[in-house]
A and B are shown apart, each in its own frame.
Chain A
Amino acid sequence: MRDVVVIGAGPAGLAAAVAAATAGLDVALIDAGRRPGGQFYRHHAAETGRLHHDWDAFVRLRDALDRLTYLPGHRVWHVEDGFTVHALAGDRDERPVRIDARAVVVATGAHDRSLPFPGWDLPGVLTAGGAQALLKGDRVPAGKRIVVAGTGPFLLPVATGLARAGATVAGVFEANRPYGFARHVARHPGKAREGAGYAALLARHRIPYRTGHAVVAAHGDDRIEAVTVARLDRDWAPVRERVIACDTVAVGYGFTPQLEIPLQLGCATRMDADGSLIVAVDVTQRTSVPGVYAAGETTGVGGAQLSLVEGELAGLAVAEAAGGVAPDPADVQRLLARRRRLRAFAGAMHAAYPVRPGWMDRLRDDTLVCRCEEVTRGRLAEAAELGATDPRSAKLLSRAGMGWCQGRVCGYATAWLAAGVCGRLPGADDLRGIARRPLAQPLRLGDLATDDQP
């Protein structure tokens, strides 16, 4: 029985695990990746930090991993109250593993939030995060001539990273017009420096950056050959269109926190300003379930710096609750102040980069919404006619979200479309209805059958 198990070794999980271990707790840090760092610090074996911001912070945490039990290559598929973590360890020859702990820190991060458009199932269309992962993990640009599109500041590191790696970036198309956001950036010297760096790189690589534009269709036979880019009105209805040749498009409309484990444990959730479902936590990162803490993107998308702060706060809180180690009040005050500032920044970011209903105008009746089960917008409309009044019943009547990805890709879009039929925007209950995944990962029935054997 460990004092605490931390799930996820990205910025939040690393910070939580190291803080708790430094305070003397017996900590297990469990992660699906082969190397620590999560998506933000995803890196090649020979990485020196050239591709990463705040690499020093990562190196400090990585060098502290000898204080705890670090378990890479473990896919957690379920956590039971009490707490027992059920995972699969290894690559091809996976074996079931169980870890018991008195407390859990959930730091499972977020994945790309996608919105469908005609042609988005063509090879060569990938998420912004997927392009970034290829670049950071394998040092491979996703294509030769790439269009980057969607919304949010994350498009900038993706586009500039691809350009630095030798790809031609044919344009960055930001759907919003975030004019007021600059003054929030100006208040954070680190963010301002980062932003200025992206601007310089865009200029140096002659990458056009257009606000109020979006990729509304992808074209090609066997793979993508071009995209249609449209200028958008305030509600994102396309106004004027043109076609741009490219072999790859990387699209991202924000991020969806991965809430499988907190939902399995019964943690209360709420909707964040960006329209994503998040875990509700108190000032010490405690969830509504005693012994369960959450940090980082699961408590609201806000970036790596905020995740580091929240993770450390969670680690200190666990150490106090489970180990009786009171943290230095000055440390806590500093962290709380930093979290306040970064949360406010995240709030301003979400306000500046919303998703607007006009994205649904791009869909035709035959446009796929769920790629796994090949469910079109037309099929979802039929489900609505049959009585689906929320995303869960739309899923049950159409099979959208029932395939391999279990709705991770199409769930957000399905929620919009199902709620839209009833004349509303998706609410927290709509998102909760499709967020429950009692199996957080696929697992072989043979492994499930022997899960209780040592």
Chain B
Amino acid sequence: MVIVGGGVVGAACAYYAARAGLTVTVVERGAVAGGTTGAGEGNLLVSDKEPGPELDLAVLSSARWAELAAEDGLGAAVEYEPKGGLVVAETEEGAAGLAGLAARQRASGVEAVEVPAAELTGYEPHLAPDLAGGMFYPQDAQVQPMLAAAHLLRASGAEVRTGVTVTGMSRSGARVTGVRTDRGDLAAGAVVNAAGTWGGEVAALAGVNVPILPRRGFILVTEPLPPLIRHKVYAAEYVANVASDDEGLESSAVVEGTPAGTILIGATRERVGFDRTLSTAALRRLARQAIRLFPVLADVAAIRAYCGFRPYCPDHLPVIGPDPRAEGLLHACGHEGAGIGLAAATGHLIAQSLTGARPDFDLHPFRPDRFPEQP
């Protein structure tokens, strides 16, 4: 099989497919983890999702990531930290909303522990003192996304061909039998489109419509500090933002420390195409929100900012599984801002599809042909 895309989703597909006995070649236009994976925070979150197919996928993926991290050396190599997430509310209403969300999420297998206002500083000593309450999610975790992609690819034993651009699909009748590249053709029993934000372009090479668009996000990085923030901490408004259809600038800061000592503050959400121009308004909002949660951050220096382009579909669900319109082609893309977290389950499900195993999970909500055909 050939996987198009060397980001974390392609890497997870390679890993599980190889483990299922398939011979895998990964074709990547740039460098490993050079696209959205290289611009991510490494969030493995169950806390930020409303009940539904994506939350189910996230819960499955959380367990898969924990298994991966337990394998020899892999957890340390990818900087896996099962640190848990703390969602905080500024108001009593917000706290009540959090409690309601957690109750619904628990039915999907999410663990959530209510944290009264007075106990918040026990979790995070530097939190603002005037918050109304919070919810702790022990399943939330973190990896360093570039290392995660690179080490999954290495562990897969797949042949990785970087700097190779897929220019077309080889066909035998309607069936996809491989890819054409700028470095020659590659025959394959199956082709997996794991091209992330550029997945729509790869789908178009096979003549099928998978509508994936970029949703820009900025992340701020602080100077390295001694450990200051223990968990992934964000405000309750974040959940509404993730699911929002608004095109304008939205942000709610997710604040977290990293093993390197830097603190990551992310991320904004904007639909502005592939524009890399820095938005000072976006950074200003991130800084304000981070300081609102952790006043101590006002005196900490930001040393870097970067942006990436989340691959989003109109219904905010990823595209996973075989494409009935083009036999031999599978998709594993469109994970929006949750690609790192959902990668493990996605790779696992793609491997099951490829080997004819019955998937652990109903892929119907993620089917590639669910969108209206383009006129």
Contacts and interface: CB of A to CB of B under 8 A. Distances in A.
B287 A402 contact: no
A261 B265 CA distance: 23
Interface stretch (A113-121, A157-165, A388-396): A388-396
Interface stretch (A26-34, A213-221, A313-321, A434-442): A434-442
Contact of B32 (A80, A86, A393, A439): A393
A225 interface: no
B31 A389 contact: yes
A81 interface: yes
Contacts of A446: 287, 291, 297-299
Interface string A428-454: 000000001111001111101101100
Contacts of B34: 392-393, 396
A446 B30 CA distance: 37
A445 B153 contact: no
A442 B299 CA distance: 12
A46 to B, nearest CB: 34
A396 B7 CA distance: 13
Nearest to A388: B31
B260 A451 contact: no
A445 B287 contact: yes
B160 A387 contact: yes
A445 B278 contact: no
A266 interface: yes
Contacts of B147: 386, 397
A449 B303 contact: no
A373 interface: yes
B38 interface: yes
Contacts of B306: 438
B94 interface: no
A396 B38 contact: yes
B277 A266 contact: yes
Contacts of B262: 402
Contact of B298 (A393, A399, A444): A444
Contacts of A443: 301-302
B291 A387 contact: no
Contacts of B154: 385-387
Nearest to B39: A396
B305 A439 contact: yes
Interface string B114-156: 0000000000000000000000000000000011001101100
B214 interface: no
A445 to B, nearest CB: 4
A373 B259 CA distance: 12
A438 B305 contact: yes
B33 A397 contact: yes
B313 to A, nearest CB: 26
Secondary structure class of chain A's binding surface, majority of residues: loop
Given A396-B38, A399-B260, A438-B305, A78 B280 contact: yes
B224 to A, nearest CB: 7
Nearest to B31: A393
A180 interface: no
B198 to A, nearest CB: 17
Given A403-B224, A438-B278, A396 B33 contact: yes
Contact of A445 (B6, B260, B298): B298
Interface centre among B224, B278, B291 (most CB of A within 10 A): B278
Contact of B284 (A389, A444, A452): A452
A252 to B, nearest CB: 25
A402 B261 CA distance: 11
Contact of B151 (A386, A399, A406): A386
A445 B150 contact: no
A264 interface: yes
B298 A449 contact: yes
Nearest to B279: A80
Contacts of B314: none
Interface string B284-312: 10011011000001111111111100000
B223 interface: yes
B244 interface: no
A439 B284 contact: no
Contacts of B291: 445-446, 449
B283 interface: yes
A406 B303 contact: yes
A55 interface: no
A386 B150 contact: yes
A277 B300 CA distance: 31
A22 B220 CA distance: 41
Contact of A448 (B151, B302, B304): B302
Interface string A33-54: 0000000000000000000000
Contacts of A444: 298-302
A264 B278 CA distance: 7
B324 interface: no
B353 interface: no
Contacts of A396: 33-34, 38, 146
A373 B260 contact: yes
A136 to B, nearest CB: 28
A446 B304 CA distance: 15
A418 B298 CA distance: 36
B162 interface: yes
Nearest to B34: A393
A187 B262 CA distance: 53
Contact of A406 (B30, B163, B304): B304
B38 A445 contact: no
16 contacts: A80-B278, A80-B280, A81-B277, A386-B147, A387-B32, A387-B150, A389-B163, A393-B33, A397-B150, A439-B302, A444-B299, A445-B297, A445-B302, A446-B299, A448-B302, A452-B284
> Nearest 7 pairs between A and B by C-beta?
A387-B32, A446-B298, A393-B31, A386-B150, A449-B287, A448-B287, A442-B301
Interface of B: 6, 28, 30-34, 38, 146-147, 150-151, 153-154, 160, 162-163, 220-224, 260, 262, 265, 276-278, 280-281, 283-284, 287-288, 290-291, 297-307
Given A392-B34, A444-B301, A446-B291, 13 more contacts: A86-B280, A387-B160, A390-B30, A393-B34, A406-B304, A438-B278, A444-B300, A444-B302, A445-B265, A445-B299, A446-B298, A446-B299, A452-B281
